[in-house]
Every structure is written in structure tokens, then in C-alpha cells.
Amino acid sequence: MNALRESVIRHPRRRRRPVWAILLMVSLGTVALFGLGYAFSVVLRGQGIPVAKETEAATISAAPLPCSTTMVTPAEVLPRTSRVTINVFNATKRQGLASNTADALGARGFEVKEVGNDPEGQKVVGVAEIRYGPKGAEGAKLLGFYLPGAEMLPDDRSKKAVDIVLGREFTEIVGEAQVAASLASPSPSTSGPGCATAVLVAPVESPGTEESGAPNPSLTPSASTSAAES
């Protein structure tokens, strides 16, 4: 009787979960956690990079570009007169103005190529116009010491020759001693990416300037003319 009662009262056994199911759940949980962590890091990284780039760009743009100023003697950096080719043109009604001036500049060592009336037919009311291209910029600077008050007019010519167009107020080129003294006088010169673009300005003759009698070492006569002045 007792054996029968014991057999009736027995409870059924619980089923254990298979090992593979447990491993699967653990693996899925690990993958899920890894995915959430990676997504979170990407979001943070995506928010941080633009800010860093903007900050860096602002820092670079705020930094001033360098520009240095030094004292330079024109005679040390400008070419010798014998290395400057010029064309002398007359923009006035005075006969022989271009040829006489060409002779004077030729005696100072400039290489004279053409002499005549202004081919552009412009009316120059000032002292003169000095027209030059990129290759003749240094020669134009030098000519400015011989023609104080002349207007510098850059153009896109490919040749190195510089045009001198004499105007109504022109009288004569500056004396040899005065030019030499001006070329020996130091002047400030700027260089560097932060400097403003330099503009050529011809020297203005001082009415009280006296000639010092100093010789110009670059004066070697050499001149040839073509095209007659009418």
C-alpha cells in the first residue's frame, strides 16, 4: 500500500535547457552589447571631428601672415643702366623732344631701341608715363629716379623693354650726381606673404636738392635709335 502511494505522489522531473541554447543567448547578448558600444563611439566621434576642424581652421586664419621690413639701397637691387632697354616717345607738340631725351638717356648708359611719337597717341599732361611689363618692372623703377614725378603704368607686355612717354610738364632728366645720391639712399622694403602688394611710384624731385657730384658707376654710353620722330 505504501509502495503504491509513493508511486502516485512522485513529481515529474523538470527539463534542463540544452547547453547550446545557453551559449546562443550569451553570444547574442555579447554581440548586442558590442554593437551598442560601437554605435555610441561613432556618434561621439562624428560630433567631435567637425568641432576640431573648425577650431583648427579658426586658429590658422587668425594667425597673422609674416611681413618683414628691411632697409635697402636701390643701387644694390636695381639693374645697371646698360641692362635696361627703353623706347622714348613724345606725347607733346615739341619737336625733337624724344630724340634729345633719348640721346641724354643713352649717354647715361640706357640701351635705346625706338624713338618717335607716342604710338598710342595719348595726351600726357604730366612729366611722363613709364609703361612696362612684368619683365621690365625693375628697369622701370630705375627710370623713375631719372624722371621724378613720372606716372608708372604697368601692362601685360611680354617684352622687357620699357616705354618712356614724355609729357607736357617734362623739362629734362635729373642730373647724374642727383640720381647717384638718390640710388645710394637707403629706403624701407617689405617682403613676405603678409605684405601688401607693392606699387611702383616714381621718386618726386625735391626742389631744394643739390647735386653732390658723386659719380654713377653704371653709366656706360650705349645707345641706338630707330623710327624717326616727326
* Closest residue by Cα to residue 124 from 170, 178, 73: 170
| Plot region of 84 (φ>0 → left; ψ -120 to 50 → alpha; else → beta) | beta
Rounded CA-CA distance 56/79 in Å is 44
Q: Is the pLDDT of residue 136 over 80?
A: yes
Are the C-beta atoms of residues 179 and 147 closer than 8 Å to each other?
A: no
pTM: 0.57
Helices (H) and strands (E) in the chain, counts: 6, 7
Three cell numbers written together for 142? 630705375
* Closest residue by Cα to residue 159 from 85, 215, 228, 209: 85
71 bridge partner residues: 188
pLDDT digits (tens, 9 = 90+) for 137-177: 999 999 999 999 999 999 999 999 999 999 999 999 999 99
pLDDT digits (tens, 9 = 90+) for 39-71: 666 665 655 544 445 555 555 556 677 787 777
Rounded CA-CA distance 100/177 in Å is 20
Rounded CA-CA distance 102/105 in Å is 5
* Closest residue by Cα to residue 163 from 172, 171, 154: 154
Q: Could you give the C-alpha distances from 191 to 67, 68, 71, 147, 198, in angstroms and in order? A: 6, 5, 11, 26, 9
Are the C-beta atoms of residues 82 and 216 closer than 8 Å to each other?
A: no
Are the C-beta atoms of residues 122 and 196 closer than 8 Å to each other?
A: no
**pLDDT at residue 214, rounded to an integer:** 38
pLDDT digits (tens, 9 = 90+) for 83-133: 999 999 999 999 999 999 999 999 999 999 999 999 999 999 999 999 999
| Beta strands, E only, 79-127 | 85-90, 111-117
* Higher pLDDT pick, 12 / 217: 12
**pLDDT at residue 215, rounded to an integer:** 37
**pLDDT at residue 70, rounded to an integer:** 77
Q: Is the pLDDT of residue 211 over 50?
A: no
Average pLDDT over residues 9-18: 58
Q: Is the pLDDT of residue 222 over 50?
A: no
